[in-house]
Structure 1
Amino acid sequence: MTEAGFLGCCGSTRFAREMALRAPFSSLDLAVEAARDIWWNKVDVQGWLEAFAAHPRIGDIESLRTKFASERFCGENSIFRFCSGEQEAALSSANEHTLQELADWNRKYEGKFGHVFLICASGKSSSEILAALKERSTNRPIEELQNAASEQQKITELRLAKLMSSGFNSSGGDTQAVGPLTNVPKAAVLSAPTPSTAPASNLRPPITTHVLDVALGKPGSNIDVSLHFLTENSIAEGDQGSWTLVGNSQTDNDGRSGPLMQPSNYLQPGTYRITFNTGAYLARLHGNSGFYPCANVVFKVRPSQCAEHFHIPLLLAPYSYSTYRGS
């Protein structure tokens, strides 16, 4: 867990220096929490651009080899080692036509935005990457800067998992504490806090909720609530992904749910679902299970909203429910 090691995870020198100052980390969750705080609150736009510049164009590994030929960047956990491995998996089946299209669209993208196209390539095919490149090329510069920063954060978290996995293995520690972390799903870094790993912070979870029983005119207490994140596996064409549990809790006497995820000032963009076990509550309070045994509220957090707080209340009655984005 040295500055050079963290520089391999993210090419921003400010990021690497700040991470080294906070290290060592006793768990991946704590390392990710620190990385998010540093990336979104300590690293400025110039630092973001520095990190973007550490990535080659998609498919152009040789330029990266030349650019980072020094020992500083070519170690076991170097930028070159990470980038080449990530792109090799994404482009192993690319044909000449796709590679040429990628090269052409990369030039168009860089001409418009002034930095390389950045995407977390893990699990994505060359055609998926090309489609994303074309789609994002239509964005406004300020929006695309945010998109690139969000993709960098995803890449950083995957590399941190690999870095910490190798660190535990090399130190002779308990490798089961980290496990095989070479392909960590997004939701793995969004889990609810536990007493042993939750950081001391005055931040609140980015997603919160409460329930109001509009039929009785009082809070809906003791309702089981769970939060899921849609993991887009992209293993096969047409794959819609799967829901991964982030955390669960229960509403208190005021109808407010306990923490469903770690306190943070950054929220992973994507699709979320809050599930309320309304059937058990209605059977207990109203003598029947109501029309809906559960209430699912699905909503999307866009990259431009990742620093915002999402409060999603549920207004509940035996035969209806509604929801809205609160404050």
Structure 2
Amino acid sequence: MRIGDFNALDEGEARDLVSLWAAIPRWVSAVVGGRPYPTREALEETAAAEAATWNAADLDQALAQHPRIGERATGDDASATASRREQAAMTDAASDVAQRIATGNTRYEARFGRVFLIRARGRSAEEMLAELERRLANTPESEVAEAASQLCEIALGRLRETVSADRVATG
């Protein structure tokens, strides 16, 4: 969709779409409320600036819809489809790596009280495992910041897949 099409969505459609990028209601409201955007880059700037304010409660809201790394999202909705596409590297993961990720997921959830989140797109299963193991040593505060950063990368990636870089026509 072009940026003009995004700007023209009714409020509910825009909220539904932006919620697929990151399901954080106050962020969705700020991004949708910033319309109209002259360019996708302006939309990205607003989305990134608002994401910089995410906290632990925001993460918990957003992660309620995220599957664990290594678990295939079910359903045919847009969120599940995006998750499967983003975690494509896990389909070819060696069984020992997949098992270590599953074990790490359990340890992570016990330590931090939420699912492990990482931008999976472009990363191998081995890279995700290494990051999971490294992040288990984070403090709760530093892990909130790191997980929020990863969620922002996911959200901005989804935004770029949805909205083209065209400018709004001026006339």
Same fold (TM over 0.5): yes
What does residue 209 of structure 1 align with? none
Cα offset, 1:161, TM superposition: 0.3
Cα offset, 1:140, TM superposition: 0.7
What does residue 84 of structure 2 align with? 84
Q: Following the alignment from structure 1 to structure 2, what is the Cα–Cα distance between the partners of residues 24 and 122?
A: 29
Alignment partner of 1:14 out of 26, 49, 54: 26
What does residue 36 of structure 1 align with? 48
Does residue 177 (structure 1) correspond to residue 166 (structure 2)? The answer is yes
Alignment partner of 2:70 out of 56, 59, 76: 59
Q: Following the alignment from structure 1 to structure 2, what is the Cα–Cα distance between the partners of residues 85 and 24?
A: 29
Does residue 5 (structure 1) correspond to residue 17 (structure 2)? The answer is yes
Q: Following the alignment from structure 2 to structure 1, what is the Cα–Cα distance between the partners of residues 36 and 15?
A: 11
Cα offset, 1:162, TM superposition: 0.7
| Matched-pair contact (CA < 8 Å) for 1:11–1:79 | no
The CA RMSD over aligned residues, in Å, is 2.0
What does residue 59 of structure 2 align with? 48
Cα offset, 1:20, TM superposition: 1.4
- The answer to which structure has the higher strand fraction is 1
| Matched-pair contact (CA < 8 Å) for 1:7–1:79 | no
What does residue 24 of structure 1 align with? 36
Q: TM-score, normalised by structure 2?
A: 0.83
**Count of aligned pairs between the two proteins:** 156
What does residue 109 of structure 1 align with? 108
| Matched-pair contact (CA < 8 Å) for 1:59–1:99 | yes
Q: TM-score, normalised by structure 1?
A: 0.45
Alignment of 1:183-262 (within 5 A): none
Does residue 131 (structure 1) correspond to residue 103 (structure 2)? The answer is no
Bigger radius of gyration: 1
What does residue 9 of structure 2 align with? none
Cα offset, 1:31, TM superposition: 1.0
Cα offset, 1:177, TM superposition: 2.9
Cα offset, 1:44, TM superposition: 4.6
- The answer to which structure has the higher helix fraction is 2
Q: Which amino acid aligns with 1:27?
A: T
Q: Following the alignment from structure 2 to structure 1, what is the Cα–Cα distance between the partners of residues 23 and 74?
A: 15
Cα offset, 1:58, TM superposition: 0.4
Cα offset, 1:4, TM superposition: 0.6
Identity of aligned residues (%): 28
Deviations 1:146-197, CA, capped at 9 Å, x for gaps: 10001111111111101103xxxxxxxxxx738xxxxxxxxxxxxxxxxxxx
Deviations 1:277-315, CA, capped at 9 Å, x for gaps: xxxxxxxxxxxxxxxxxxxxxxxxxxxxxxxxxxxxxxx
Q: Following the alignment from structure 1 to structure 2, what is the Cα–Cα distance between the partners of residues 24 and 111?
A: 42
Larger relative CO (CA 8 A, sep 6+): 1 or 2?
A: 2
Q: Following the alignment from structure 1 to structure 2, what is the Cα–Cα distance between the partners of residues 143 and 45?
A: 11
Cα offset, 1:126, TM superposition: 0.3
Cα offset, 1:134, TM superposition: 0.5
| Structure 2: tracts of 5 or more residues without a match | 1-5, 7-13
Residue aligned with 1:143, SS: helix
Q: Following the alignment from structure 1 to structure 2, what is the Cα–Cα distance between the partners of residues 24 and 58?
A: 35
Instruction: Please list every run of at least 4 consecutive aligned residues from structure 1 whose deviation after the TM superposition is greater than 3 angstroms.
Output: none
Residue aligned with 1:92, SS: helix
Q: Following the alignment from structure 1 to structure 2, what is the Cα–Cα distance between the partners of residues 147 and 162?
A: 23
| Matched-pair contact (CA < 8 Å) for 2:69–2:87 | yes
| Matched-pair contact (CA < 8 Å) for 2:55–2:148 | no
Q: Following the alignment from structure 1 to structure 2, what is the Cα–Cα distance between the partners of residues 36 and 140?
A: 24
Q: Following the alignment from structure 1 to structure 2, what is the Cα–Cα distance between the partners of residues 127 and 17?
A: 36
Deviations 1:79-132, CA, capped at 9 Å, x for gaps: 2221111002x2132022211111110000010001111111121100110011
Deviations 1:183-232, CA, capped at 9 Å, x for gaps: xxxxxxxxxxxxxxxxxxxxxxxxxxxxxxxxxxxxxxxxxxxxxxxxxx
